[in-house]
Amino acid sequence: MTQRCGFVAIVGRPNVGKSTLMNRILGQKISITSRRPQTTRHQVMGIKTEGEAQFIYVDTPGMHIQTRDRNKAINRFMNQAATQALRDVDCVVFIADRTRWTREDDVVLDKLTHVKAPVILVLNKVDWLENKAELLPWLEQLQAKREFAAILPISAKHGTNVPELEAEVAKYLPEGVHHFPEEQITDRSQRFLAAELVREKVMRQLGDELPYQMTVEIEEFRDEGRVVHISALMLVERAGQKKILIGENGERIKKIGREARLEMEKALGAKVMLNLWVKVKRGWSDDDRALKSLGYDLD
């Protein structure tokens, strides 16, 4: 049989379920998730090989309007990372949220104007719709927005219609040799995943209290076989944020560390010894050089 292999960009505005969809397709957690918009900050590849077909999905940061409070270097980086993922892909999965269309959905639609690859529009979270009859007239309205290769209602969380989406994507995989070994599921390192898991736990616990001026840097990642030693530095921009992150008597940071460690052990298949620190690094989220040194690099 002929091998097929293709790149599939998963795009959409913040918080529509892009990472949840990729994790669902892969059957395991590669991209972190939370209820907070802009949890994903990097392009993350998820690789699924089924027989002669290899799907290379690219999860992207949510495309967003850069307002005064969202016009820092990190916001520009996220928009550039999402836009860059559209280059040279074989198919695009554009995710929107049920019957809610916003200005940021229009931003995504505008970015797709010059994309030659087929675009599949996915309406996520349809399990939340109380009146399913609303869908049909809404689908007709969406068809007028551009020529989509297909429009599919799904639930990324529960897997509804996800196999149908994968079958649709498979139509657009070109003939070609596989780029990755069959057992590989991401291009990202274990070190990267460890940093993201810490950040996920912070986002889930402190989404409203701690603004987006927080990132995680892995200072040590030592694999000794049965035990992996990880030291992670959480960077914030102000002393008040550091205090929030540590919590009273260090309870908050202990809880973050405990939850992150359990997820790491599941992902790495080994016991994890995790040490967490918090450090104030003023202005890092609006400093291109600082961002690059922290791994926010489009190359």
Looking at the DSSP bridge assignments, the partners of residue 5 are: 54
Q: Are 20 and 34 in contact (CB under 8 A)?
A: no
Residue 13 annotated as part of some ligand binding site: yes
Burial of 269 (0-12, 13-18, 19+ CB in 10 A): exposed
Residue 297 annotated as part of some ligand binding site: no
Residue 255 annotated as part of some ligand binding site: no
Residue 231 annotated as part of some ligand binding site: no
Which two structure tokens, joined as six digits, stand for 44? 């993350």
Residue 18 annotated as part of some ligand binding site: yes
Residue 257 annotated as part of some ligand binding site: no
Residue 14 annotated as part of some ligand binding site: yes
Residue 17 annotated as part of some ligand binding site: yes
**Residue from 190, 202, 193 nearest 278 by CA:** 202
The 8-class DSSP code of residue 210 comes to: S
Residue 48 annotated as part of some ligand binding site: no
Residue 275 annotated as part of some ligand binding site: no
Residue 125 annotated as part of some ligand binding site: yes
Return the residue matching tokens 């007239």.
137
Residue 60 annotated as part of some ligand binding site: yes
Q: Are 165 and 235 in contact (CB under 8 A)?
A: no
**Residue from 151, 161, 178 nearest 93 by CA:** 151
Strands annotated E in the chain: 4-12, 44-50, 53-59, 91-97, 119-124, 150-153, 214-223, 227-236, 271-280
Residue 269 annotated as part of some ligand binding site: no
Distance CA 9, CA 95 (A): 11
- What order do you get walking across the sheet with 271-280 strand by strand? 214-223, 227-236, 271-280
Residue 105 annotated as part of some ligand binding site: no
Residue 78 annotated as part of some ligand binding site: no
Residue 240 annotated as part of some ligand binding site: no
Residue 110 annotated as part of some ligand binding site: no
Residues that constitute the known binding site:
12-19, 59-63, 124-127
Residues that constitute the known binding site for GTP:
12-19, 59-63, 124-127
